[in-house]
Amino acid sequence: MTGEISATTKKKTTSERGVDEYLRLLKFYYLPIFVLVIFFVIMIFGLIPSLNSIYNNYSQRNTVKKAVERQEVTIANLVQLKNDSNEINQYLESINTIAPVQVTNVTEFQESIKTLATTNGIATKQANTRELIYSEDGSQSGQVSYLQLVEVPSDFVFAGSFEDIRTFLGALYEQDEFIVIEEMSFAKPVNSSDWELSITLNKYQFQINETVLTGSDQTAQTAPNYLAEPESAKPDQNVIDFIDKKYLNKNEP
Amino acid sequence: MAKSNFSFNLLPPKSKEVIAREENRSNSLLYAAFLLFGITLIWLSVRLIDSAFLKRSLDIWNETRQQKEIEIDSYNTYKSANGELVMKTRSLAPVVEKHTDPDLVFDFIDSLIKQTTPNVDIVSYGRTSEGTFQFEGLTSSTEDVASLILEFNQQDQVEDARLNRIREDSDTNKYSFIIDLDLTNLLTQ
């Protein structure tokens, strides 16, 4: 028993000695250890955040640089639009002839057709107006169009000689006012010397699509948002060719 | 000054072990100081690159972007005009396709009939809301109708020619027929 106590005391003494030795070493090396601690503090709280900041600024700079490059392309397109502005306005004027942004005076339209018929030696037997037809909007899929094309159809029945009616149809096609022959039946009735032309003529107009204006939009959005179209968007080439040919008398290449 | 011959040290000399340990400590301190100096230098360099070059460059790019934005806004009038043209032409495209010269159709049908089947008389022309043209003719032989359809289908201007209806009039012994024509090719030429 006495031997065991003596061994424990001896062991404790050795362990205490070890602790003392460590403390002594710590005191002896406190300066290099202190410097190392500062090293790690600078690395953790100084260098790493600074490197992170460099990375973030570099990525942000690249993002902004790419955005500026895109803006330069946009500006190049816009400069081109500015150079083409006279041409664009000419086309818009012609489009206003084809389909104005206003309510078509149907009575006036019918009268002008009747006058054209009389001028070409044919009689108007009947002239009726039908309800307006709202066409599907011409916006690209997924977009809401504030501009709606409206058809104003009128039915006519004319009578006259074959040649006179053909001349009248030619005159309808040639006149500046844009009219589309939607339906036509041109026949010679039995027991009649005259030919008869039953025709549906369409006129067109643009109007603001009020169904898409809801709530606060009704006050905020009073005109079509033309700026929503990207500057790189191109007008429909068939319509442009048509305007060139019919209204601007441009020769095709 | 003459060197004194009476120099003595009362402290006991340091053991070799102590001298080696102190030397080791001194070296450790030197290495640690170098490390500290190095990392401080790197940190300051990184800060300098970040603030003097990258942040400055970022500020310049941001300023450029803002200036470009202002420049882009100054073109809004032209962009709006182009947007209007794009929207309107897109809406008008299907309508413009329907705007065709009927004279062109009459002349085409007349001339082909005169060349191939002069016995056929045209009694009516028509256009459906789908855009198809049609004509009604009278003839004494069904062969005329067949050869006419064949002839129309051989023309480049005709996309499709089909017999819509044929009927025999027992009083006159003549056949009345209607042919539907898709003349898209002719009208887009």
Please state the three-class secondary structure of chain A as a single string. Answer: CHHHHHHHHHHHHHHHHHHHHHHHHHHHCHHHHHHHHHHHHHHHHHHHHHHHHHHHHHHHHHHHHHHHHHHHHHHHHHHHHHHCHHHHHHHHHHHHHHCCCCCCCHHHHHHHHHHHHHHCCCEEEEEEECCCEECCCCCCCCCCCCEEEEEEEEEEEEEECHHHHHHHHHHHHHCCCCCEEEEEEEECCCCCCCEEEEEEEEEEEEEECHHHCCCCHHHHCCCCCHHHCCCCCCCCHHHHHHHHHHCCCCCCC
Which segment of A42-46, A49-53, A189-193, B6-10 scores lowest on mean pLDDT? B6-10
Tell me if A88 and B43 make a contact (CB, 8 A cut-off). Answer: no
- Examine the domain organization and report whether A113 and A222 are in the same domain: yes
What is the average pLDDT across A88-101?
89
- Examine the domain organization and report whether A77 and A129 are in the same domain: no
**B14 and A CB contact within 8 Å:** no
Per the CB < 8 A criterion, the answer to whether B175 and B138 are in contact is: yes
Report pLDDT digits (tens) over A166-193. 889 888 888 878 888 888 998 888 788 8
Q: What pLDDT score does B10 carry?
A: 73
Q: What pLDDT score does A219 carry?
A: 46
Q: What pLDDT score does A253 carry?
A: 46
**B136 and A CB contact within 8 Å:** yes
- Examine the domain organization and report whether A39 and A142 are in the same domain: no
Out of 3.40.50.300, 3.30.1360.100, 3.40.50.2300, 3.40.1030.10, the CATH code matching B98-188 is: 3.30.1360.100
**B3 and A CB contact within 8 Å:** no
Mean pLDDT for all residues in chain A: 82
Q: What pLDDT score does A4 carry?
A: 53
The amino acid present at A148, given as its one-letter code, is: Q
- Examine the domain organization and report whether A70 and A106 are in the same domain: no
Can you tell me which residue has the tokens 């289908």? B153
Q: Is residue A49 part of a domain?
A: yes
- Examine the domain organization and report whether A107 and A204 are in the same domain: yes
**B33 and A CB contact within 8 Å:** yes
- Examine the domain organization and report whether A155 and A241 are in the same domain: yes
pLDDT grade, residue A57 (50/70/90)? Answer: very high
Q: What pLDDT score does A67 carry?
A: 96
Give the nearest partner residue to B61 out of A38, A64, A135, using CB atoms.
Answer: A64
- Examine the domain organization and report whether A55 and A180 are in the same domain: no
What is the average pLDDT across A200-224?
66
> What is the chain A residue with the closest CA to B18?
A28
Mutation pick from B27, B56, B89, B178 vs chain A, by most beta carbons of A within 10 Å, is B89
- Examine the domain organization and report whether A45 and A148 are in the same domain: no
Give the nearest partner residue to A54 out of B31, B49, B98, using CB atoms.
Answer: B49
Last residue of a domain, one of A51, A83, A115: A83
- Examine the domain organization and report whether A59 and A144 are in the same domain: no
- Top pLDDT among A217 and A70 is at A70
Q: Residue A67 is part of which domain span?
A: 1-83
- Examine the domain organization and report whether A124 and A226 are in the same domain: yes
Tell me if A85 and B81 make a contact (CB, 8 A cut-off). Answer: yes
Q: What pLDDT score does A175 carry?
A: 82
Residues of A in contact with B36 (CB under 8 A): 35, 38-39, 42
**CB neighbour class for B174 (10 Å; exposed up to 12, middle 13-18, buried from 19):** middle
Mutation pick from A231, A241, A243 vs chain B, by most beta carbons of B within 10 Å, is A231
Check pLDDT > 80 for residue A231.
yes
Low-confidence ranges of chain B (pLDDT < 70): 1-6, 8, 189
Structure tokens at A16: 């205490």
Tell me if A71 and B65 make a contact (CB, 8 A cut-off). Answer: yes
Which segment of A48-52, A134-138, A170-174 scores lowest on mean pLDDT? A134-138
Report pLDDT digits (tens) over A240-251. 998 998 888 765
- Examine the domain organization and report whether A16 and A46 are in the same domain: yes
**B68 and A CB contact within 8 Å:** yes
Which residues 30-49 of A are in CB contact (within 8 Å) with B?
31-33, 35-36, 38-39, 42-43, 46-47
CATH (domain of A221): 3.30.70.60
Tell me if B46 and A98 make a contact (CB, 8 A cut-off). Answer: no
pLDDT grade, residue A142 (50/70/90)? Answer: very low
- The tally of domains found in chain A comes to 2
- Examine the domain organization and report whether A153 and A62 are in the same domain: no
Does ipTM top 0.85? no
